[in-house]
């Protein structure tokens, strides 16, 4: 029924559950674009296993585009620069952007959809990413949807981003209702054994659970306490400007 991009993080895992819960047959793609660690990919695989156990109908493929990573990124996500601490809205976070990443992945997903005879491609863009990722914005979704439609005109494919008007906290709220196994998801940009709790994506993740008044199930009680402390620290400094 649908092709989707699955990173193994909160948003795309929620999207997988959202589509599968509606009874859709899902073909998930996870991209290896030369991330500084393979943790995301491992978590995507765990999420897929859990989805299969839950009785969902899906296939999963890991797509290796790491050979082009040197062309599209010199940023922190591919290990050449330090991952900055603080919120996404901070200018310093721009080093975590892999330019045009979503368009590259979605173009491949659209080609895959045509091959499978599917007519929809999904990704989990949401409102909380607007500040830093231009390829998560509504204008981008609309423009790429039109371009994909024209490019696949004889077997048209549509681009869908059902969370585009939702905040990350709203995405998590939906996921909690759908019983998404968030303990299997991974967000941190650092390559550590455990989440660093200080990078932009860790802080955003903590905020999303805090706003839902639940503990992040990936973390131990002690880690959660620390995550909340870090969040409050950065929220008081970075956002007071």
196 binds Zn ion (CB under 5 A): yes
- Both tokens of 118, joined, read 């599917």
| CB crowding 166-205: b at 16 or more within 10 Å, else e | bbbbbbbbbbeeeebbbebbbbbbbeeeebbbbbbbbbbb
Q: Which is nearer to Zn ion, 130 or 234 (CB)?
A: 234
The stretch among 18-26, 60-68, 188-196, 226-234 that binds Zn ion (CB under 5 A) is: 188-196
Using the rule CB under 5 A, which residue among 166, 188, 218, 228 binds Zn ion?
A: 188
The stretch among 35-43, 134-142, 170-178, 181-189 that binds Zn ion (CB under 5 A) is: 181-189
223 binds Zn ion (CB under 5 A): no
Long-range contacts of 218-226 (CB under 8 A, 24+ apart): 218/182, 218/183, 218/184, 218/185, 218/186, 219/195, 223/194, 223/195, 223/197, 226/197
151 binds Zn ion (CB under 5 A): no
| Total residues at interface with Zn ion (CB under 5 A) | 5
The stretch among 1-9, 51-59, 169-177, 191-199 that binds Zn ion (CB under 5 A) is: 191-199
199 binds Zn ion (CB under 5 A): yes
Using the rule CB under 5 A, which residue among 202, 219, 227, 228 binds Zn ion?
A: 202
Residues in 78-137 that interact with Zn ion by CB under 5 A: none
List residues near Zn ion by CB under 5 A: 188, 190, 196, 199, 202
């Amino acid at each position: 029924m649908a092709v989707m991009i699955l990173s193994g993080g909160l948003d795309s895992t929620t999207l997988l559950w959202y589509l599968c819960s509606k009874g859709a047959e899902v073909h998930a793609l996870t991209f290896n674009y030369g991330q500084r660690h393979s943790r995301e990919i491992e978590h995507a695989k765990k999420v897929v296993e859990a989805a299969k156990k839950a009785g969902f109908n899906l296939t999963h493929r890991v797509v290796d585009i790491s050979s082009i990573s040197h062309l599209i990124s010199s940023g922190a996500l591919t290990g050449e620069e330090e991952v900055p601490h603080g919120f996404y809205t901070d200018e310093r976070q721009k080093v975590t952007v892999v330019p045009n990443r979503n368009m590259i992945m979605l173009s491949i997903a659209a080609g895959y959809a045509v091959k499978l005879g599917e007519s929809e491609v999904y990704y989990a863009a949401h409102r909380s990413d607007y500040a830093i990722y231009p390829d998560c914005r509504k204008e981008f979704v609309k423009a790429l949807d039109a371009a994909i439609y024209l490019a696949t005109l004889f077997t048209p494919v549509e681009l869908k981003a059902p969370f585009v008007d939702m905040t990350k906290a709203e995405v998590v709220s939906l996921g909690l209702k759908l019983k998404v196994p968030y303990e299997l998801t991974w967000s941190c940009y650092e390559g550590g054994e455990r989440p660093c709790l200080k990078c932009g994506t860790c802080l955003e993740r903590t905020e999303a659970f805090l706003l839902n008044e639940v503990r992040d199930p990936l973390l131990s009680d002690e880690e959660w306490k620390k995550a909340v402390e870090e969040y409050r620290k950065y929220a008081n400094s970075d956002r007071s400007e």
